[in-house]
């Protein structure tokens, strides 16, 4: 089918989408399928790209965009255009689910979609027509009169039934669409597809791992889902990488190997110094309360407890004494338990190739996010996307290292911003939610004009806030974070994240809430991002928007 | 001739692959029918292309084996002259196969080292031979068992050097109708 047709790939701007894109590109290359790649960062770009290309392409593949809206309504495509959507955003719009011809969704079979039944939401329009037609039947007047009465009764009953059905439908749809969450990572779905076609490679497996890790880093999936998916990937990893144990047939050192690790969740620690990593990882920074003087003392105690001299710990990790590095993971875990940090180790994977290159999946995620959202403007808008995409290939180590450096800067900026927000009490409770707004003059504030960075900042801020406040009620509140987006145009970007609890199901209701608040206040907003819980608005409209939200959610 | 040209010629050599697709005979130089799982011989250029598209698995040639190559290397070190090589394109084939299909070749790193050792020994012998050739001002020399790549490496340099030396020598003899050679 696809041999003679070209395909247009529309890819959203998040790491999971980039990984899924890499896998798909590799599959396309194997089969010589011609494609055009268009990165899109929001609905507007999606629509523009579609309008530009709709005459030349009949097949569109959308990665991490398009599932949660009525796509056909927005794009108004021709009858013979086909859309393949591989999107981890949930809930999937009901029209997309039940469309049988033009929209094809790529979902994993056991992904629980909870879609309402067809009959509950769709109803044929023909029922109404029949009612009005039975009026004009010529017959005797008395009969006619009786039949007329019967008809009136029938019609009222039908109308009542219809109203009941509609009310139930609204309820069902409201429940279905109220909370936003994420399903299986698109990269994993793509890898699954490759596996079914028997074209899966170690490279693709690595991208699937990075896609899943991106979901974990950004807190988009529950802990249980993460562990389940890790298990699935682990089976694939053993299948592809078992030759490493076999001495007889061992692989060349240049070949890529993936290994399962139960490693520390300290961000970038193998490419930084242990000290910096401890300070700039949200888990340790929040639990030790590193924004306070007391917190810093606790960190010293923590290090002393493990017997790690400060001088060693502040060096580059690779230069640390080997004797100290030997049992590092177990030592840190033991001490961390004493200090109230029980989850310092996490199941993940690492990649090895050549003699020097070893990376954890989370390292790659941080590096790619920083490359993608880098604020340095060089060249056309898509260069950052392409750079980030390239850095995922093993041949482009220089880009990866660039990404790692940018990631370090970003993590430091996040921690410093979090520290200053907490110390200056910038996080205030508005009743149903917490609110924090970044001022224009704050250092590094430009970094947070991008959605993924702002989301990371918000999550880390909420974690730290929960550890710092004594107010029990505040600990259970969700957070809305605002940051200046474009100073010239006077816009602000706002992000809403669900509350930070142990057993959070990561479901986010801010998407609908933002929509309603925007409507009711006539604010000039732009719901441009594929994640509905991110919204842009004019700075002047901010306060009335917030007031509307408060009254909506109280 | 450029090394790239030598590599191009090397790609015509045949190597065995195990395809995972099926296709009938193609007359692009008589390429046999392809059946998944059955080994078939194809030229290296096609093998590399198919490997890159994940359509086959490469089987290393028989001589690309650690023990055999160790033997060849030791043999080369013992002899003063050049020993015959398992393939006239051993260097190019090693490079191509190890670059693109190292996951299909067991102990690829050792093989790379062994082939490099053999190459180094032969190049040393070549240099020695060229040196004595020039010193003794021989008119011609016979070197057996050299491969194209090795000839290329020294060829241009040697011929140009000899040319220069000839010019210098003729200019040393004054008075004789010293017609300088125009080039």
Spatial distance between the Cα atoms of A255 and A202, rounded to a whole number of angstroms: 10
Check: CB of residue A358 under 8 Å from CB of residue A350.
Answer: yes
Span A408-426, mean pLDDT?
91
Is the Cβ pair A249, B107 closer than 8 Å?
yes
What is the CATH topology of the domain spanning B3-170? Methane Monooxygenase Hydroxylase; Chain G, domain 1 (1.20.58)
Q: What's residue A138's pLDDT?
A: 45
Instruction: From chain A, pick out residues whose CB is under 8 angstroms from the CB of B107.
Output: 249-250
Q: Does B110 touch chain A (CB under 8 A)?
A: no
* A31 vs B contacts (CB less than 8 Å): 53
Q: Which residue has the higher pLDDT, A123 or A82?
A: A82
The complex scores an ipTM of: 0.72
CA A301 from centroid of its chain's CA atoms: 36
Within 8 A by CB and 6+ apart from A444, the residues are: A413, A416, A417
Three-state SS across A409-475? HHHHHHHHHHHHHHHCCCCEECCCCEEEECCCCCCCHHHHHCHHHHHHHHHHHHHHHHHHCCCCCHH
Q: How far is A94 from chain B (nearest CA, A)?
A: 38
Q: Write down the mean pLDDT value for chain A.
A: 85
Q: What angle do CA B80, B83, B89 make, to 5 degrees?
A: 135
Interface test with B, best of A240, A254, A353 (most B CBs within 10 A): A254
Q: Which two tokens stand for residue A536?
A: 């842009």
> Cα–Cα distances in Å, from A139 out to A130, A133, A135, A136, A142?
19, 15, 11, 9, 9
Q: What is the pLDDT of residue A246?
A: 58
Report the b/e string of A4-24 with b at 16+ CB within 10 A.
eeebbbbbbbbbbbbbbbbbb
B59-79: pLDDT as tens digits: 988 888 889 999 999 988 898
The arithmetic mean of pLDDT across residues B38-50, rounded, is 90
Chain A residues at the B interface, defined by Cβ less than 8 Å, are 29-32, 198-199, 201, 248-255
Residue A18 has pLDDT above 90, yes or no: yes
How many CA atoms are closer than 13 Å to the CA of A170, on its beta-carbon side? 5
Q: Most B CBs within 10 Å: which of A250, A251, A253, as the mutation test of the B interface?
A: A251
The better pLDDT of the pair A208, B145 is held by: A208
Q: Average pLDDT for residues A6-34, to the nearest whole number? A: 90
In this prediction the pTM is 0.85
Q: Do B53 and A201 touch (CB under 8 A)?
A: no
User: Over the stretch A286-314, which tens digit does the pLDDT of each residue have?
Assistant: 888 888 898 899 999 998 888 888 888 88
Q: Helix crossing, A15-30 with A186-196: angle to 10°?
A: 20
Does residue A100 carry a pLDDT above 50? yes
Residue A502: pLDDT over 80: no
Contacts of B157 (CB under 8 A, 6+ apart): none
Does A248 contact B106 at a Cβ distance shorter than 8 Å?
yes
A181-188: average pLDDT: 90
| From B53, B103, B106, residue closest to A30, measured CB to CB | B53
Q: How far apart are the first and last CA of chain A?
A: 54
Token code pair at residue B55: 């359509």
Assign 3-class secondary structure to A464-478.
Answer: HHHHHCCCCCHHHCC
Using CA atoms in the order A247, A252, A258, A263, what is the torsion angle rounded to 10 degrees? 70
Percent of chain A's residues with pLDDT above 90: 23
Domains and CATH numbers, chain A: 201-412 (no CATH), 427-553 (3.10.310.40)
pLDDT, average across residues A514-523: 85
Instruction: Give the number of other CB atoms < 10 A from CB of residue B30.
Output: 7
Tens-digit pLDDT profile for residues A122-173: 766 544 444 444 444 444 566 677 778 888 888 888 889 888 888 888 888 8
Asked whether the predicted pLDDT for residue A232 surpasses 70, the reply is yes
Which is more confident, A534 or A252? Answer: A534
Predicted pLDDT of residue A171 = 87
A44, A528 Cβ separation under 8 angstroms: yes
Q: Which of A30, A252, A255 sits opposite B54 (nearest CB)?
A: A30
Task: For A447-472, write each residue's pLDDT tens digit.
Answer: 888 889 999 999 999 999 988 888 88
DSSP H helices in A179-222: 186-196, 202-217
Give the bridge partners for A438, in sequence order: none
User: Whose CA is closest to B11, among B88, B68, B67, B106?
Assistant: B88
Provide the 3-class DSSP secondary structure of residue B169.
helix
User: Residue A445: CA atoms inside 13 Å, Cβ hemisphere, count?
Assistant: 18
* Average pLDDT of the segment spanning B10-33: 82
Residue A381 vs residue B88, higher pLDDT: B88
- Strand A59-63 versus strand A82-86 pairing type: parallel
Please give the structure tokens belonging to residue A309: 């001299």
């Amino acid at each position: 089918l696809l041999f003679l047709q070209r395909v247009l790939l529309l890819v959203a701007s998040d790491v999971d989408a980039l990984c899924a894109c890499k896998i798909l590109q590799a599959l396309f290359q194997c089969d010589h399928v011609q494609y055009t790649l268009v990165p899109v960062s929001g609905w507007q770009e999606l629509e523009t790209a579609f309008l530009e290309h709709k005459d030349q392409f009949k097949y569109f593949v959308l990665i991490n965009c398009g599932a949660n809206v009525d796509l056909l309504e927005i794009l108004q495509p021709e009858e013979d255009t086909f859309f393949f959507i591989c999107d981890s955003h949930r809930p999937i719009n009901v029209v997309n689910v039940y469309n049988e011809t033009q929209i094809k969704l790529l979902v994993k079979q056991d992904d629980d979609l909870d879609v309402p039944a067809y009959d509950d939401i769709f109803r044929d329009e023909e029922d109404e027509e029949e009612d009005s037609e039975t009026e004009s039947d010529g017959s005797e007047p008395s009969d006619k009169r009786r039949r007329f009465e019967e008809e009136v009764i029938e019609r009222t009953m039908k109308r009542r039934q219809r109203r009941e059905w509609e009310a139930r439908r609204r309820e069902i749809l409201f429940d279905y669409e109220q909370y936003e969450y994420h399903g299986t990572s698109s990269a994993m779905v793509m890898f699954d597809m490759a596996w079914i076609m028997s074209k899966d490679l170690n490279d693709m497996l690595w991208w699937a791992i990075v896609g899943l890790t991106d979901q974990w880093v950004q807190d988009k999936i529950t802990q249980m889902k993460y562990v389940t998916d890790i298990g699935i990937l682990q089976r694939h990893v053993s299948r592809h990488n078992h030759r490493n144990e076999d001495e007889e047939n061992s692989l060349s050192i240049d070949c890529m190997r993936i290994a399962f690790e139960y490693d520390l969740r300290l961000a970038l620690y193998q490419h930084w110094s242990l000290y910096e990593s401890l300070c700039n990882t949200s888990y340790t920074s929040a639990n030790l309360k590193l924004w306070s003087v007391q917190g810093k003392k606790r960190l010293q105690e923590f290090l002393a407890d493990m017997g790690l001299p400060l001088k060693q710990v502040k060096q580059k990790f690779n230069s640390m004494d080997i004797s100290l590095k030997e049992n590092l993971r177990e030592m840190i875990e033991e001490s961390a338990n004493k200090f109230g940090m029980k989850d310092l180790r996490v199941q993940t994977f690492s990649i090895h190739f050549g003699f020097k290159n070893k990376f954890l999946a989370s390292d790659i995620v941080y590096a790619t996010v920083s490359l993608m959202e880098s604020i340095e403007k060089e060249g056309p808008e898509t260069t950052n996307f392409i750079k980030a995409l390239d850095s995922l290939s093993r041949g482009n180590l220089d880009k990866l290292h660039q990404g790692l450096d940018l990631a370090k800067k970003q993590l430091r900026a996040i921690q410093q911003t979090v520290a200053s927000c907490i110390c200056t009490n910038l996080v205030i409770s508005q009743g149903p939610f917490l609110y924090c707004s970044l001022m224009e003059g704050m250092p590094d504030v430009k970094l947070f004009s991008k959605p993924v960075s702002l989301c990371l900042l918000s999550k880390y801020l909420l974690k730290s806030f929960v550890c710092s406040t004594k107010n029990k009620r505040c600990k259970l509140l969700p957070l809305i974070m605002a940051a200046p987006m474009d100073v010239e145009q006077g816009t602000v970007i706002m992000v809403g994240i669900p509350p930070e609890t142990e057993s959070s199901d990561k479901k986010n209701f801010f998407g609908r809430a933002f929509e309603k608040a925007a409507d009711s206040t006539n604010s000039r907003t732009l719901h441009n991002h594929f994640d509905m819980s991110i919204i842009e608005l004019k700075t002047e409209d901010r306060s009335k928007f917030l007031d509307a939200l408060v009254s909506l959610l109280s | 001739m450029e090394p790239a040209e030598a590599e191009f010629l090397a790609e015509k050599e045949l190597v065995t692959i195990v395809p995972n697709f099926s296709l009938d005979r193609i007359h692009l130089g008589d390429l046999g029918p392809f059946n998944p799982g059955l080994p078939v011989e194809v030229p290296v250029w096609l093998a590399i292309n198919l490997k890159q598209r994940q359509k086959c698995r490469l089987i290393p040639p028989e001589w690309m084996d650690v023990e055999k190559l160790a033997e060849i290397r030791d043999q080369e070190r013992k002899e003063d002259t050049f020993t015959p090589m398992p393939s006239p394109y051993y260097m190019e084939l090693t490079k191509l196969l190890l670059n693109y299909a190292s996951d299909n070749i067991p102990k690829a790193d050792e093989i790379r080292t062994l082939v490099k050792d053999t190459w180094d020994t032969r190049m040393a012998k070549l240099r020695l031979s060229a040196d004595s050739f020039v010193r003794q001002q021989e008119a011609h020399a016979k070197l057996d068992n050299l491969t194209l790549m090795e000839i290329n490496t020294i060829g241009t340099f040697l011929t140009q050097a000899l040319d220069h030396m000839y010019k210098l020598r003729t200019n040393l003899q004054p008075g004789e109708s010293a017609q300088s050679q125009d080039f």
